[in-house]
Structure formats: C-alpha cells, structure tokens
Amino acid sequence: MNVGIIGALGYSGEVLVKRLLVHPQVNLAAVTSRQHAGKVLSKMMPTVRGTAADRLLFVDSDAAALAARNDIDLWFLALPHGGAADFAKVLVPAGRRVVDLSADFRITNLATYENYYGKHHAPELLPGARYVQPELTDPAWQETIKIAAVPGCYPTSTLVPLVPLLKAGLVSREHIVVNSFSGVSGAGKKNDEFYLFVERAESAKAYGLVKHRHLAEIEEQLALLTGAKTIIQLNPHLAPMRVGIATTITVPAAPGATLDSVYETWHKTYAGRPFVCLLPPGDMPDTAYVMGTNRVDISAIYDVRTNNFIFTSAVDNLVKGASGQAVQIMNLWSGFPETAGLF
C-alpha cells in the first residue's frame, strides 16, 4: 500500500517518516513540501540518510495534484490546525483516506473547536471524521469513517488511565487534577527564543494555564466515552528533555473503590492490547523507558490519608502521542497487524 505525508519536516513528521520507511506493509510514496519540492528527503532530514529517503524527492504541496494521485491510498497530515482541513477537503472528496495529526478533526462539536482554535476550515467533513484512541474508541470507526483524527499527546496520557475508571464508576468526576510534564518537542519546531537550548536546559515550568487547547478534546472524549460531562484541571509543564510526557492524575476515589478494582478494570480493558503496559503500584512510569516506543505505561496508587488515587502514565509524545499512534491507526484501518512498523 502506498502512503504519503503532507508536512514531513516537523518533529512528528520526522518520526512518521522513520516508522513508514521500515513498515513491512506500506511504501512511503510521497512527501510534500511547498518550499523544498524537488529536493531529496534525506537532505532535509539527516537522521534518515542511508535509507530509501535518499531516493525520495519532495513533491509540491498542491492539494489538487496530490488528490489526483491514484497510486496513493492514504495520506498522513502532519500540519498545523487549519492547514490540515484545507488539504482534507480536497483529498477526501477524491476518495483518499486521511490520518490527521492536527487538531482539525479531533473535536466533534464545532462550537467547542471554534472556541479553542478559531474558525474551522472544513466543518462539512466533521461527520465523516472520528477521534481514534485505538484502545478506547469503538472499533466500528474502521468501517465508517473517511478521516481518522490522531489524539494529542496530553490526551493519550490522560484518557488511557482515566476513561475505564470513570466508566466503571471507580473515581470521582470532581476534583480531577492532571499535571503533565512534556519534553520540548511537544511545542513543535518553533523558531522562538523561548525554545532555544540555553533557555530550556535546566528549566522546568508550568505553561498554558488554565486553558490549554488539549482540554477541548480531553473533556469531549471524557464525555463521549464515559457518558457524562467531566471537567478537569489540566496543568501542562515543560521539562528539559527532548521527548516524553509524564502525567500524574490525582482524583478522589469513589465510595468503595479499591486499588484492586482499579487494576482489574484496567486489565479487563487493556488485555491483549499491545501498547498499554500496566505497572504495579509503586512502580511509577518513566518517560525514558517509553522513549522511541508506542507504549503507554500506567500505574496507580491509593493514598489512605487523602482518599485519592494517583494515576501516573508515560508516553513518548512523538510516538504514542503522535506518529506512532497514527501508524497504529493506519494498521487497524488497513487490516495490518496492529504493531506493524512499531517496534
């Protein structure tokens, strides 16, 4: 199967290129760039020198021309929000499948989207789009959609531990506090003084309080997947590391809930899922251990003094938090083994 990437030169795009180059079932047949059309991919992405990327040339980012390519079945969009919708509205009518890493199709409710992101460029496509957290979204999505929206990094690290427990009624829907520490690549490749090495090394700090954009999709998914509106406090932070997200969720236990019932619920939900790894209480996930993998490591502990559960999780923000998950979605959608290309 031939696939293409629109927007390969950001951090997510680069991880996507690497995964697709070694994927046994697909062929990376096109990468696009307005600015670099005609150049060799590996010239612009030195980490993939010595691979097929030495023989792949950027093609122009012309949506109509790309949509006309009959050889390409599925396109990955690794673009800023807004731009993704602009491409999708040409590719989808041409019958192409789209896996979108931007926020454009993550929010079902148009008003919510526009509250967080501004005007939507292609609201008419929303009914054919679906937010796909592969471990949580109803598998029927594979039959029905045209656009798969890949969850963001904070949402993945939050939804995977929390959703099954909310559904099972094991935790409160109030006083949920989510603190996340993200590697600097989470901000994308931005030419901003704030992201210079000298500024970020030795720096830990909160940012984006109190209305980070990922709130929109987390809270909408909490409602859709668990059946009731749920408001959370999301405190994002930056840590001086390249990749990774460590998330710590504090939430009051529901009456009668025990640590055992938490682990049982998780086991039931994630049995056989290759990318969710349950750690025993007291063994807290570490971003270094998931780096480069498509795993979410999760763990729980109960504090008898406060009656809170504390759930901790770790993902690689560029892999399970973006491009690895995108490949996982493609695998499921295409009938490939779920782990293909995702070692």
CA 247, CA 262: separation in Å to the nearest integer?
Answer: 17
Catalytic residue among 8, 79, 126, 153: 153
Residues 77-116 that bind its own copies (CB under 8 A): none
Least distance from its own copies to the Cβ atom of residue 165, Å: 17
308 touches its own copies (CB under 8 A):
yes
37 touches its own copies (CB under 8 A):
no
Strands 74-77 and 296-303: unpaired
Least distance from its own copies to the Cβ atom of residue 89, Å: 30
Using CB under 8 A, which of 94, 110, 231, 258 touches its own copies?
Answer: 231
Residues 148-187 that bind its own copies (CB under 8 A): 175, 177, 179, 181, 183-185
Using CB under 8 A, which of 195, 212, 254, 259 touches its own copies?
Answer: 195
Complex with its own copies: residue 138 or 303, whichever CB lies closer:
303
Pick from 116, 112, 164, 158: which is nearest to 136 by CA? 164
260 touches its own copies (CB under 8 A):
no
Neighbours of 79 (CB within 10 A): 24
272 touches its own copies (CB under 8 A):
no
Asked about 277 being catalytic, the answer comes back as no
Residues 288-307 that bind its own copies (CB under 8 A): 288-293, 295, 297, 301-303, 305-306
25 touches its own copies (CB under 8 A):
no
Report yes or no: 287 and 241 within 8 Å, Cβ to Cβ.
yes
86-93: which pairs have CB atoms within 8 A and are 24 or more residues apart? Answer: 86/121, 86/122, 87/6, 87/63, 88/122, 88/125, 88/147, 89/121, 89/122, 89/124, 89/125, 90/63, 90/64, 90/66, 91/63, 91/66, 91/67, 92/125, 92/128, 92/146, 92/147, 93/67
Least distance from its own copies to the Cβ atom of residue 238, Å: 9
Phi/psi of residue 183, nearest 5 degrees: -65, 160
Using CB under 8 A, which of 252, 254, 259, 261 touches its own copies?
Answer: 252
How many residues of this chain bind its own copies (CB under 8 A)?
Answer: 79
Active-site amino acid positions: 153
